[in-house]
A and B are shown apart, each in its own frame.
Chain A
Amino acid sequence: MKKKVLSALLASAMVASMMAGCGGNTTNTPASSAGQPSSQAVQPSSAAGNDAAEGKVLNIQVWNEEFANRLADHYPGFEKADPKDATKGGKIGDVTVNFIVTANKGNAYQDQLDAVLPGNASLEADKKTDIFLVEADYALKYVDADVNVAMPLSELGISDADLSKQYQYTKDIVTDANGALRGASWQACSAGLIYNREMAKEVLGTDEPAKVQEFVKDWKTFNDTAAKLGEKGYLIEASVNDSFRVYSNNVTTPWVKDGKFTIDDNIMKWVDDSKVLYDAGYTTTDPLWDGSTWKGGFQSNPKDTKKVFAYFGPAWFFNFSMGADTEGTIANQGGWGLTTGPQGFFWGGTWICAAQGTDNPTLVKDIILTMTTDNAVMKEIAQKDSDCVNNKEVLKELASDASGNLAILGGQNPYEMLAKGAELVDMSKTSPYDQGCNESFQTVFKDYFEGKYKTKDEAVAAFKTAVGEKYPDLKEMLK
């Protein structure tokens, strides 16, 4: 009898433990901050904030700590749950703020959005996503009017007049087909050519931005300069993938338009130009971020790799990505200069979208307005975080005095140029397929540059196959 009871117990324990593994997904785990003392003294700045009717939890979908830091540092009344780590969330008044961080690698962030956004309205109040962030590359996917996962800003009560200081391109990216705006950004990421001053002096005889510009003013002169640099054993750019963004930002037709798939001439020009540069040994096919030459170029004396003359990037790139706070980098010694380069372009930026179904519309509205339109807050962001902010007035101010001079650029004030660049960015040539197409194009043509495809046509065919796999709905157009 004892045995029987024991075995019954064992068997049920086994089954029960297994079931526990299967079900029990009742506890969604955003980085919450229970047990945080809430002080009622601090109230959100301008908004009515937390009406009794509104939710007590604000869930924000992000892919890194950037927005968490911006919000924690600059939104009035934000109390961090953990002083060292803003992504742990905190409190605004008596509303708990949670950041749900999903790293971008391998499309994971978009998968997360795809999973939570469509059914957001029907979730329990505390589990609803209230704000999500998007990047330019895939913004169109989420601001689509039919999909309707991002609220039109007008529904939140934000008018066009509120956003008048923002650059047009930052609005175009998050405008749906019916012209409704569904997001806003605090950054303007117009970019330029970042060049090595020392090398410019040695080879080109000058390091003044305006004069260096003469040597890189269009792609033809850029390629001629590459040869000059190549004679000295320098690379004009670290990788062909660096300039891809510049070419692809300046297309005349988007990848997909009116049911037609087009590879733009400017992109094919990138192929031809890059092939010449690569074959001559003036650049490499390194991946961005990980490539040894690409990373080595930040050092004033790179080991085992050739020195690099120029990178293409916006303010956040030279401020954060070039290792300015590490000894031995060019940025650390203030050895970079910034000029317009062959063609204007932009790179990156983060847009704030209000999730359809949010139960905190007033607070969301106030966050969007404060972070993307408030002059004082934005100037603070620009000065504390060196972001190039999406505010014409603030940029003008920064350009006009020495407060905008940057040590990384050897004291150069880049803001006038960046502001001018932001006016010129043209976003009408984007399609929701851009990210996938651009990625596949670079992957396939890396093999072409390295001679693995015999002809360009072969590579183009391979590219179309890859696109067809990613986007089955384009298959008919690709034939």
Chain B
Amino acid sequence: MSKVKRGKVVRYNRWGYIFLIPFMVTFIIFQLIPLCTTIYYSFFENYMAGLKQIGPTFIGLENYKTLITEGDLGKYFSNTLIVWLIGFVPQIVLSLLLGAWFSDPSLRLKGQRFFKTVIYLPNLIMASAFSMLFFTLFADAGPINSMLVQAGILSEPFKFFSSISATRILIGFMNFVMWFGNTTILLMAGMMGIDPSLFEAAEVDGATPRQIFWKITLPLLRPILVYVLITSLIGGLQMFDVPQILTDGAGSPVRSSMTLIMYLNKHLYSKNFGMAGALSVYLFILTGILSFIVFKLTGPKKEKKEK
């Protein structure tokens, strides 16, 4: 009897594995193998000079050294962070505000579902399409400029893409518009997970809404906030499509909007897999550390809750 039962269990497990196959195969082919080969190739000199293949020659850590000593890796890293911050700061502020409003039952907001959908919508547009749109809107003779000139605000068109700060702000703004809906939903979920009795108790004690927000909501939201912060940072480090399209891959002006991945992409002109691989490995390590922090910060808390 017990044997039969066990057999059944095993058989069900097998179905489970079979249903896992699609994911595993996709993961191995498109993630794991590329990951390993990237690391492998980063130790080689391997590129095309015209149609001639140079290498692959094993050169150890030479690519890693070259990246640190020669390239402007630090500059691109700080570009990436600056642009990310420009997008992230307003994003987190607005998301907190919206999340607090949406999750506050005393406000009795109408049409919540509609607004939740609307704020999420920008995320559904392809980043490159969004970027093209902004490129056209803010072009030297684009609609924004002609509106500003006709309204008498500017005397002559402002060259947005020739100004370091304007270009960075535009990229940050696009990321902000695309991602604040997503963040709002995450934060809202976090806020709704807070025990309502805490809010009620605070209200009974005469706390103002502001005090409730700062003293109860925010501290209890900390793990989610950290999660949002770190995942956004990881996403920000991989920022590519928006600035790539907006600046036509040049990171202009003066490479001030060149992000790390755009720099990586520059190496692919000559199919320089060694150098690009080394850069990827740096990013991989950085992302790994950040993920580890998320893991540490969010993991044990859940266990405590379960107890």
- Which residues of A approach B to under 8 Å, CB–CB? 7-8, 11, 14-15, 18, 22, 106-107, 114, 117-118, 141-142, 144, 146-147, 149, 285-286, 291-293, 296, 304-305, 432, 436, 443, 446-447, 450, 452-453, 462, 465-466, 468-473
Verify A7–B15 contact, CB threshold 8 A. yes
Verify A471–B49 contact, CB threshold 8 A. yes
Q: Does B269 contact A (CB under 8 A)?
A: yes
Chain A's closest residue to B274 (CB) is: A472
Chain B's closest residue to A141 (CB) is: B50
Given contacts A18-B22, A117-B51, A462-B254, contact A472 B270 (CB under 8 A): yes
Q: Does B240 contact A (CB under 8 A)?
A: no
- Contacts A144-B50, A296-B141 aside, 15 further interface pairs with beta carbons under 8 A come to A8-B18, A18-B25, A18-B26, A141-B50, A146-B52, A147-B51, A305-B141, A443-B252, A446-B252, A450-B162, A470-B269, A471-B49, A472-B272, A472-B275, A473-B47
* Nearest Cβ on chain B to A262's Cβ, whole angstroms: 18
Verify B253–A436 contact, CB threshold 8 A. no
Given contacts A292-B141, A436-B269, A452-B162, contact A473 B49 (CB under 8 A): yes
**CB within 8 Å of A: which of B245-272?**
249-250, 252-255, 266-267, 269-270, 272
Chain B window 36-49, contacts with chain A (Cβ cutoff 8 Å), 1 for yes, 0 for no? 00000000000111
Q: Which of B15, B50, B254, B270 contacts A11 (CB 8 A)?
A: B15
Give complex CA distance A61, B10 in Å. 56
* Nearest Cβ on chain B to A307's Cβ, whole angstroms: 15
Give complex CA distance A116, B162 in Å. 39
Verify B267–A469 contact, CB threshold 8 A. yes
Chain A's closest residue to B51 (CB) is: A147
Interface residues on B, range: 35 or more
Give complex CA distance A271, B260 in Å. 30
Closest 5 CB pairs of A and B: A292-B141, A147-B51, A473-B49, A141-B50, A11-B18
Verify A450–B253 contact, CB threshold 8 A. yes
Verify B51–A292 contact, CB threshold 8 A. no
* A interface secondary structure, majority: helix
> Which of B52, B54, B71 counts the most A-chain CB atoms under 10 A from its CB?
B52
Verify B269–A304 contact, CB threshold 8 A. no
Give complex CA distance A149, B51 in Å. 9
9 residue pairs bridging A and B, Cβ less than 8 Å apart: A14-B19, A141-B51, A144-B51, A147-B51, A292-B141, A304-B157, A465-B72, A469-B267, A473-B54
Verify B269–A107 contact, CB threshold 8 A. yes
* Nearest Cβ on chain A to B302's Cβ, whole angstroms: 32
Give complex CA distance A7, B267 in Å. 47
Give complex CA distance A473, B49 in Å. 7
* Nearest Cβ on chain B to A174's Cβ, whole angstroms: 15
Q: Does B29 contact A (CB under 8 A)?
A: yes
Chain A residues within 8 Å of B50, by CB: 141, 144, 147, 432
Verify B22–A304 contact, CB threshold 8 A. no
Verify B54–A452 contact, CB threshold 8 A. no
Chain B residues within 8 Å of A142, by CB: 51
* Nearest Cβ on chain A to B239's Cβ, whole angstroms: 19
Total number of A-B contacts with CB less than 8 angstroms? 92
Give complex CA distance A118, B51 in Å. 8
Q: Does B35 contact A (CB under 8 A)?
A: no
Verify A114–B139 contact, CB threshold 8 A. no
Give complex CA distance A7, B19 in Å. 9
Verify B18–A469 contact, CB threshold 8 A. no
Q: Does B192 contact A (CB under 8 A)?
A: no
Verify A11–B162 contact, CB threshold 8 A. no
Verify A452–B270 contact, CB threshold 8 A. no
Chain A residues within 8 Å of B162, by CB: 285, 447, 450, 452
Chain A residues within 8 Å of B25, by CB: 15, 18
**CB within 8 Å of A: which of B75-123?**
none
> Which of B25, B26, B51, B275 counts the most A-chain CB atoms under 10 A from its CB?
B51
Q: Does B212 contact A (CB under 8 A)?
A: no
* Nearest Cβ on chain A to B269's Cβ, whole angstroms: 5
Verify B164–A472 contact, CB threshold 8 A. no
Chain B residues within 8 Å of A293, by CB: 140-141
Chain B's closest residue to A303 (CB) is: B141
Chain A residues within 8 Å of B157, by CB: 304
**CB within 8 Å of A: which of B138-172?**
139-141, 146, 149, 157, 159, 162, 164
Q: Does B137 contact A (CB under 8 A)?
A: no
Chain B residues within 8 Å of A146, by CB: 52
Q: Does B21 contact A (CB under 8 A)?
A: yes
Verify A462–B255 contact, CB threshold 8 A. yes
Verify B250–A443 contact, CB threshold 8 A. yes
Chain B residues within 8 Å of A465, by CB: 71-72
* Nearest Cβ on chain A to B37's Cβ, whole angstroms: 17
Verify A472–B254 contact, CB threshold 8 A. no
Verify A147–B52 contact, CB threshold 8 A. yes
Chain A residues within 8 Å of B19, by CB: 11, 14
Give complex CA distance A376, B250 in Å. 46
Chain A's closest residue to B54 (CB) is: A473
* Nearest Cβ on chain B to A29's Cβ, whole angstroms: 23
Give complex CA distance A465, B54 in Å. 20
Chain B residues within 8 Å of A296, by CB: 141
Give complex CA distance A182, B58 in Å. 35
Give complex CA distance A291, B149 in Å. 18
> Which of A11, A114, A117, A436 counts the most B-chain CB atoms under 10 A from its CB?
A11
Verify B22–A15 contact, CB threshold 8 A. yes
Chain B residues within 8 Å of A14, by CB: 19, 21-22
* Nearest Cβ on chain A to B55's Cβ, whole angstroms: 10
Chain B residues within 8 Å of A286, by CB: 140
Chain A residues within 8 Å of B18, by CB: 8, 11, 15
Chain A residues within 8 Å of B48, by CB: 114
